[in-house]
Amino acid sequence: MLELQGVTAGYGRTRVLHDVSIEVPTGRAVSVMGHNGAGKSTLLRVATGLLPVMSGRVLIDGEDVTRLPPSKRVRRGLGYVPQGQVSFPQMTTLENLRLVAKRPSDIDEVFELFPVLKELLGRRAGLLSGGQRQQLAIARTLLTKPRLLVLDEPTEGIQPNIVADIERVIIDLTRRSDLSVLLVEQHVGFALRSTHSYYVLQSGRITMTGDGGADAVDAVRGAMAI
Ligand SMILES: Nc1ncnc2c1ncn2[C@@H]1O[C@H](COP(=O)(O)OP(=O)(O)OP(=O)(O)O)[C@@H](O)[C@H]1O
């Protein structure tokens, strides 16, 4: 679905990513883990087209999209939930969902994934907790019917039970559809439990990769502690 091939990118003259290659196969969930400042958000900006590459290529379904703007990548199926995403704070949960839903029945489908949103329909998005806002942000992006869901640190600052809900949703979605997921995270346990394969990003370089799952947690934590 998505490939980054030998991507070097950064800001001004500063290089943040160095020769980064990752692959997100169709229907699979892939995590990129790294500490603060490792370059995770930068990698997602390159994937979504918000930041140009200095060298390397970005492919969607084998097509070179390196020079395509974000809007054209969205049309090719990319759905991006940026870090700390807030919906429209003055609008209610339902109004936020209606804005993006193609059909009302699609909203019922997202309630199956995030039942808590059904209880918060009339509440303004700005008054939701961090975890509820994150669920609303993911729900809104899912309503755009992406083929690749790109999540930037969805667990940041949210409580463990909501982390577990988001984990369940990612696993559910990739099990019952062809949706692909690219997740960047610092939370190693969550990332590995939610994804089929992983990459570790350290100082802008991929230093480790392998299959996801709880078995990989100790090895990844060990590598990241260096
Ligand atoms: N807009 C920008 N202009 C200049 N430098 C930037 C910009 N955004 C990020 N950087 C720098 O790029 C490096 C990587 O930042 P990035 O946000 O990609 O890391 P991250 O792994 O997502 O970190 P975090 O987990 O803290 O969000 C950092 O040194 C950061 O200061």
The interface predicted TM-score of the complex, written ipTM, equals: 0.96
- H or E segment to which residue 98 belongs: helix 93-100
| Domain identity same for 10 and 63 | yes
Does any ligand 1 atom lie closer than 6 A to the CB of residue 84?
no
Same domain, residue pair 91 and 108: yes
Domain end among 130, 145, 160:
145
Contact (CB, 8 A) for 31 and 187: no
State the residue range of the domain holding 67.
2-77+147-225
In this structure, which residue's CA is closest to atom 2 in ligand 1?
Answer: 11
Considering its fold, how many domains does the chain have in total? Answer: 2
Ligand 1 atom 29 nearest Cα: 37
190 and 220 both lie in a single domain: yes
**157 close to ligand 1 (CB < 6 Angstrom):** no
| 94 and 57 co-located in one domain | no
How many A from CA of 39 to the centre of ligand 1? 6
Taking the CA of residue 12 as reference, the ligand 1 atom at the shortest distance is 4
Q: Is the pTM of this model over 0.90?
A: yes
Do 138 and 151 reside in the same domain of the chain? no
Q: Does the Cβ of 36 fall within 6 Å of ligand 1? A: yes
Residues 151 and 219 in one domain: yes
Residue 226: the pLDDT is: 56
The pLDDT, as a whole number, for residue 117 is: 92
The pLDDT confidence band at residue 211, using thresholds 50, 70 and 90, is: very high
Distances (CA, A) of 60 to 2, 29, 147: 5, 15, 11
pLDDT tens-digit readout, 117-170: 999 999 999 999 888 999 999 999 999 999 999 999 998 888 888 888 888 888
The CA-CA-CA angle for residues 154, 103, 142, to 5°, reads 15
Phi, psi of 35 (to 5 degrees): -75, 175
Counting from 1 in the atom list of ligand 1, the atom nearest the Cα of 38 is 21
| Mean per-residue pLDDT of the chain | 92
219: left (phi over 0), alpha (psi -120 to 50) or beta: alpha
If you take atom 4 of ligand 1, which residue's CA is the nearest one? Answer: 11
Ligand 1 atom 8: the closest Cα is on which residue?
Answer: 42
